[in-house]
Each structure stands twice: as C-alpha cells, then as structure tokens.
Amino acid sequence: MESASKKPKISDKERLELAAKLDKDLDQFINSLEKRRYTEGWPEDRWEEEMAKHPFFMRKAPEPGEELSPLMEGLQQLKYDPEENTAQELAEAYKDDGKFYMQHKKFRLAVLSYTEALSFGVTDPEYRAVLHNNRSAANFFLKNYRSAMLDAQKALELKPDYDKARWRAAQSAGLLDKFDVCIEHCDEILRKDPTNGQALELRKSTLAKKTAKERDARKAALQERRKQEEWERTIEALKKSEVKFEEPDALTNVKRLKPRLAPLEDFTVKADGNGVLHWPTVFCYPQFLSTDFQQQLSEECTMEDVLINMFEDPLELDKEGQYVPHKLNVYYENRLAGRVHKVDVKKTIKDIIREKTFYVYDGTLAFFILPKESKHEVEFLNQTRVPLRLK
C-alpha cells in the first residue's frame, strides 16, 4: 500500500484517457470472443493467466511489490490519491483493505493497512480506537502479543468502554505473563458482566500461573542461596585442607574447579555440611587405555576401600583376572615435576591429596591403576615425562 501512494500523479486528461482505454479494451475483448478465435495478444497457453491480471477479472489482490499493469496502477491511484480523497476517505480505504486481509488471514498485510489508516491523523477518538483494536487483533493472530496488548490499551485510552479491546488486552497480557495487568482487565470485565465465563476462566488460570511463578521464583532463590552457601563452605574447606592446585587462581576462579571431562563436568568438588570434601575423580587403566569415573568420591574413604568397591565385580576388560585389589598398585602423576608417585592404599583420599607432591588440576583427582610387577606397570613407570610449564 505504501508503494501505491508514492506513484507519480497523472493529469485529469490522462485519467480520462485511461478510463476510455479500459472501456475500449473491455469491448475489444468481448467482441473477440464473439467473432473469432483468439489468436493475437495473449499467448494461447497463458491466456487465463494474462486475463487474471486484468482489473475486471482479478480473483485476488496483487501482492506487495508485485508489478502492476498500467490499468491497475491507475485504479489504485484513483483510490489512494491524496488530492482526490480526504484524510478520512484515505483512512477508510486502508481500513477496508485491513478488513479484507483479516478475512483472508493475511494478518501481516492487515497490520500494514491499519498502520497506514492511522497515519492520516483522523482525530475522531472512536474511529482511531477501532483502528487500534483491529491492528491489535491482527497482531494477536500473528502471536505478536506485546504489540497486540499495546494497541488494545491504546484503544481503551481512546474509548474506555471498548469491551472488545479490553478482552484483547486481557488475553495478550495473560500470554505475556503480565499477570497483574491481565487480572485488572478481567476484573473490569467482570464488574460489568459478573457471569462472563471467559473472563472468569482467564482470571482463574492467570492467578494460578502467577502463584506458580512466584513459588518457582522463591524456590530458585532458595536454591541459589544454598548453592552460594555450599560454594563458600567448599572454598573454606579447601583453604583449611591446604590442597595444592596446578592453577594458582583455582580458589578465586570458579571455572578452574570445573572438570573438563564430560562424565564429571556437572560435579565440581564440594564440601558437605560437616566440611567433608567430595571430589570428581578419574581412574585410568593405561593397560587398556580406558577410564572409570566417580563423580563424588569422599575424602574420608581409604584407597583400599575404593579399590574393593570398584572391583567387587570383575573388570570387563580384564580377561586374565589381574585386576583384584590386593594385586594392584595405584599411582598419581605430578605433572609440574614430570614424575609419578605410588599411593599408599591404606591412606585416606584426604591424606593422599595433602601429600606435598600431589597437585589437583581441572578440579579433578586423577589416579592410575596397574597390576603389580606387570609389564604394563614397568612401561608406565618408564615413560618419559616432561615437566609441565604453566602459562
């Protein structure tokens, strides 16, 4: 519609010539049907398509941006020419377009049409209220609920007793989770019509949603407080434990304590209510190039208890029956020194990680399990290790 209003004006003489040409074209078309087979002009294989472009035979309005025939351009100019129409007439023309598009479910075009109608500055408040309400309806069907609510509220400013606009405002506010606004509009509707079933149901469902959201917000706030308290308790426990980290800022940067291994990434170290630390832990089997994980390993367990628990059922990869607790050695690696250290399995995890050679990295404990005096243990111990250089 916008492009149509910007077309260059034509003179009265040209307009009359256009009208005369329209009559002449129509007469020629009718005469050609009566006197002879159609052989010129429109191609035989596309005559229906070409005829459909003629203003008299069009079955649907042109789409925005679609090239128009000269006749159609002239007809549009007659309808939308500001020199030929008053502001009220122009607004009414676009309002009619909006109604047409609404009936045919072309809601975006309806929005554009009602916007054009409003642009002509018609001052009648009731008329403007109708345009805002109609544009609200179009936006509502497009699920543009915020725009629908704003237009409906504008319509109510112009016409406070506009029931359709109030209902649309209530619906849109409800869908936007603007609970108080929705309930306020419902209350106003029910003040005038206490038995309005739709308003009663919307008010009831909105109030239930509001209550549920407030409850969920309280739960989320409580969980966040508990999470913060747990984090502060964990940092305090780590400081007291004097555990060493490869990363110097591990106790001030929460990202440093987040495990990078996928099975552990949601399980950072944490202290329980008694200050006992629970660690994400990876157990590596160099012989099989595989790993096991424990997401929350208590520091109060001994390594011997851990092994007994891990190998209560035979290791699937262990075809020779070597992985039995008393037949295994456990090691940890000091990457900063490029050395490995054997674990005393009688010690607790707490005592092991407090050894002066033990360093935690990526917030994760890492241990290596190998059969005692096996070739795989020898190969593991004889590997060349280069000390890690911290960035």
Element (H, E) at 371: strand 365-371
- Asked whether residue 28 carries a pLDDT value surpassing 90, the answer given is no
Residue 301: CB partners within 8 Å, gap ≥ 6?
Answer: 348, 349
- Average pLDDT over the chain reads 87
Write down the pLDDT at residue 87.
86
pTM for this prediction = 0.54
Q: Other CB atoms closer than 10 Å to residue 263's CB: what's the count?
A: 14
pLDDT at 80 over 80: no
Q: Which residues contact 172 (CB under 8 A, 6 or more apart)?
A: 136, 140, 145, 146, 148, 149, 152
Residue 254 pLDDT grade (very low, low, confident, very high; cuts 50, 70, 90): confident
Domains 77-176 and 254-382 share a fold: no
Report the share of the chain in percent with pLDDT over 70.
Answer: 80
The secondary element (H helix, E strand) that includes residue 296 is strand 290-298
- The DSSP code for 218 is H
Q: How confident is the model at residue 50 (pLDDT cuts 50, 70, 90)?
A: low
| Per-residue pLDDT reduced to its tens digit, 84-139 | 678 898 999 899 999 999 999 999 999 999 999 999 989 999 999 999 999 999 99
- Tell which CATH classification among 3.40.50.970, 3.10.20.90, 3.40.50.2020, 3.40.630.10 matches the domain 254-382: 3.10.20.90
User: Environment class of residue 223 by beta-carbon count within 10 Å: exposed (0-12), middle (13-18) or buried (19+)?
Assistant: exposed
Instruction: Give me the residue spans of the domains in the chain.
Output: 77-176, 254-382
Q: How much is the average pLDDT of 25-35?
A: 65
Task: Look up tokens 């992985």; give the residue.
Answer: 323
Q: Is the pLDDT of residue 306 over 70?
A: yes
CATH placement of domain 77-176:
1.25.40.10
Residue 281, classed as helix, strand or coil, is strand
